[in-house]
Amino acid sequence: MTRRLVLVTGASSGIGKALAREFAANGWDLALTARREDRLIEFAEEMKAQYGVDSLTIAADLSKSSAPKKIIDAIAAADRQIDGLVNNAGYGLPGTFTETSWKQQSDFIQLMLTSYAELVHRVMPGMEERGYGRIINVASVAGLMPGSRGHTLYAGVKAALIKFSQSLYFEGKAHGIHSTALCPGFTYSEFHDVNETRSMVSKLPNFWWLTAEQVAMAGFNAVQRNQPVVVPGLWYKFLTGLNQILPNDASMWLMSRNSGSFRQGEADTGKGAKTAA
């Protein structure tokens, strides 16, 4: 019997790479995509040596609208069906809404929301036909908390992914398809270097930090048991739980205080970015 295959976006680093490793450790073949193909090839070789799994590597820039089809076509051309999808590729866009260009914002929406939805739309019919599927959308605790100044669309896009995953959970139920929104807090990866928040978030105490492996294991276990939303780590379960019971004004006040203190380092430069988890 052919082994199951999971498509993982943003598999060259951080949480995506850790999720791909988790699937491989559980006997899944991999289709790995990101822009840095050299990293994907090296990782594919490592997974073959460690777990004996086969991998396809597909270089693609998911901020381009042609990328989802290109990725799915490459997998079909290799005569493989997709049983699992991990939508994970992402970054933060520093600055307030008017400090950034519309091109930056529309690329952000294309990568962080449209490509996620299109990939699900392309793989789900096959999953329905076969009566089996696993879908993880990597969201964030930011999607469960109030929005705040800077990284303007980040929390909104992540909130949309959480609602999207919940709807998929209901729609997939009758077809053996499990869907999970994975909502990490601050996680060690390249994310905070790419979105220029490293100097600020490095001031956070250790208990705010998760490892990519911790996040990946929580995501894999949640999708296996068909849990629609998972928040890894006790601290973040507490914070998101607290947010649910606080009046909206109190949450907004707390968020403005916290994002203010994380942003202290940037205040003098006038750059004005808050942190995005």
Ligand X SMILES: NC(=O)c1ccc[n+]([C@@H]2O[C@H](COP(=O)([O-])OP(=O)(O)OC[C@H]3O[C@@H](n4cnc5c(N)ncnc54)[C@H](OP(=O)(O)O)[C@@H]3O)[C@@H](O)[C@H]2O)c1
Q: Which of 51, 116, 154, 169 is catalytic?
A: 154
* Helix residue ranges per DSSP H, 37-153: 37-51, 67-77, 102-109, 115-130
Query: Where does residue 14 fall: left (phi above 0), alpha (psi -120 to 50 degrees), or beta otherwise?
Result: left
Using CB under 6 A as the binding criterion, the count of chain residues that bind ligand X stands at: 28
Member of 4, 12, 28, 72 binding ligand X (CB under 6 A): 12
Cβ-closest residue to ligand X? 14
Concerning whether 154 is annotated as a catalytic residue, the answer is yes
Helix (H) or strand (E) holding 198: helix 198-201
**Site for ligand X, residues 119 to 148, rule: CB under 6 A:** 138, 140
| C-alpha–C-alpha distance, residues 50 and 187, integer Å | 25
Residue pair 178/172 in contact by the 8 Å Cβ criterion: yes
Member of 41, 74, 109, 194 binding ligand X (CB under 6 A): 194
Q: Is residue 202 classed as helix, strand or coil in its secondary structure?
A: coil
Range in contact with ligand X (rule: CB under 6 A) among 71-79, 166-174, 187-195, 226-234: 187-195
For the bound state, the minimum distance from the C-beta of residue 212 to ligand X, rounded and expressed in Å, comes to 6
Helix (H) or strand (E) holding 31: strand 29-34
| C-alpha–C-alpha distance, residues 28 and 162, integer Å | 25
Member of 57, 88, 148, 165 binding ligand X (CB under 6 A): 88
Member of 116, 164, 191, 236 binding ligand X (CB under 6 A): 191
13 binds ligand X (CB under 6 A): yes
Binding site for ligand X (CB under 6 A): 10-16, 34-36, 61-63, 88-91, 111, 138, 140, 184, 186-187, 189-191, 194, 277
